[in-house]
Amino acid sequence: MPYVIGIDGGGTKTSCAIQYIELDGQVVSWERGKTLFGEATNPQSVGWDAMYCRLKDLISQAIQASAIRPGEVVGICAGIAGARLEADEVRIEQSLLQIAGELKLNTEVVYTVTTDLYIALRGMLDSKQSQGILVIAGTGSNAIGLTDGVLYRSGGWGHVLGDEGSGYAIGLEALRAVCRAYDYREAPTELSHMVLKALKISGESELITYMYPASPPKNEIASMAKLVIEASHRSDQTAIRILQKAADDLAELVRSLFLKSRKFDVHTPVFVTGSVFTHSELLRERFAQHLKKDGLGHVQLSRGDSLDGALTVARECFTQIYNQ
């Protein structure tokens, strides 16, 4: 019996699932097999050798957990964080080919390598939808849009060149606001004592030692975003301003995709994900208002998750080859 494997390879963890299909690629049941979890497989952060070993181990575990024969696997889609360049996709596909040989998978397995963002968007889209936009705001920020099979990107430049509207950007702006308030260049803010307490420092002047010469990790700065959200719940005007600016910046990512393709319109579904969207109602509402006011699509709840997207892509690619 034929099966496809979907892989969501992120920067902190990797998940994998198997789904049974008909030979023509049709789904017998939308239910997927047990989800297996493993370590991060972003080759840019963990290295290519570690990625290879972790993918091989996870695929092997998934086959064993599903009690199927390796030769029954006919399609694999791996959405891997860090696979933005074509050269990276080719190298990952070569790794999958080698893994397939070692695990004795079907010799005609159809491989598809893409980014974790693409499978996330495909998982969120309804099966009848061919167009959509996904905006991510976690530690970093970026957006992708799909229409008529063409993928468009915006953002994703990293914390030095971009990441506007992200947890990192919000956290960094909080630190800057504390400095400005200390200088009387800005109104007092509850963020001052909240940040000092969180960083376990006694005064604002110690922020210089904290930030220089070696900058703290990105996720540590991004963790300051939760303080901004908490302060906004207390009606702190500085915190509210920071979150409003973040919402504006995230809406700009959507606007840029509309400029890249005129096929996006007011009916385009826009999905959001990431800790910033999850934890700040103020930001979510302002973002949605931007879209409505400017005709930049509409926020919609997702159908499924990234693994659903990976399985969908695996089925599609197998069907295309099978029907040739």
* Cβ partners under 8 Å of residue 262, min gap 6: none
Query: 3-126+304-322: which CATH number, 3.40.50.1820, 3.30.420.40, 3.40.50.10320, 3.10.20.30?
Result: 3.30.420.40
Reported as type and span, the H/E element at residue 273 is strand 269-273
Strands (E), 65-201: 73-80, 110-114, 131-137, 141-147, 150-155
The three-class DSSP label of residue 152 is strand
Classified by CATH at the fold level, domain 133-176+218-299 comes out as: Nucleotidyltransferase; domain 5 (3.30.420)
Sequential pLDDT tens for the chain (324 residues): 788 999 999 877 899 999 887 765 555 555 677 889 999 898 988 899 999 999 999 999 999 998 889 998 989 999 998 787 888 899 999 999 999 999 998 888 888 999 888 999 999 998 778 899 999 998 889 999 999 889 999 998 888 898 999 999 999 999 999 999 999 999 999 999 999 999 999 999 999 999 998 889 888 999 999 999 999 999 999 999 999 999 999 999 999 999 999 999 999 999 998 889 999 999 999 999 999 999 999 998 888 888 999 999 998 888 877 666
How far apart (Å, rounded) are the C-alpha atoms in residues 259 and 214? 38
Residue with tokens 């070993």: 53
Residue with tokens 């960083």: 199
Are the C-beta atoms of 251 and 283 separated by less than 8 Å? no
Domain boundaries, the chain: 3-126+304-322, 133-176+218-299
* Cβ partners under 8 Å of residue 104, min gap 6: 70, 71
Residue whose C-alpha is closest to residue 93's, from 63, 48, 133: 48
The three-class DSSP label of residue 247 is helix
Are the C-beta atoms of 226 and 280 separated by less than 8 Å? no
Residue whose C-alpha is closest to residue 254's, from 280, 221, 227, 289: 289
Tens-digit pLDDT profile for residues 32-87: 778 899 998 989 888 999 999 999 999 999 999 988 899 989 899 999 987 878 88
Sheet containing 141-147: give its strands across.
150-155, 141-147, 131-137, 269-273, 298-299
89 exposure class (CB count in 10 Å sphere: 0-12, 13-18, 19+): middle
Identical fold for domains 3-126+304-322 and 133-176+218-299, yes or no, is: yes
Query: Cα–Cα distances in Å, from 14 out to 6, 42, 167, 303?
Result: 11, 9, 22, 20
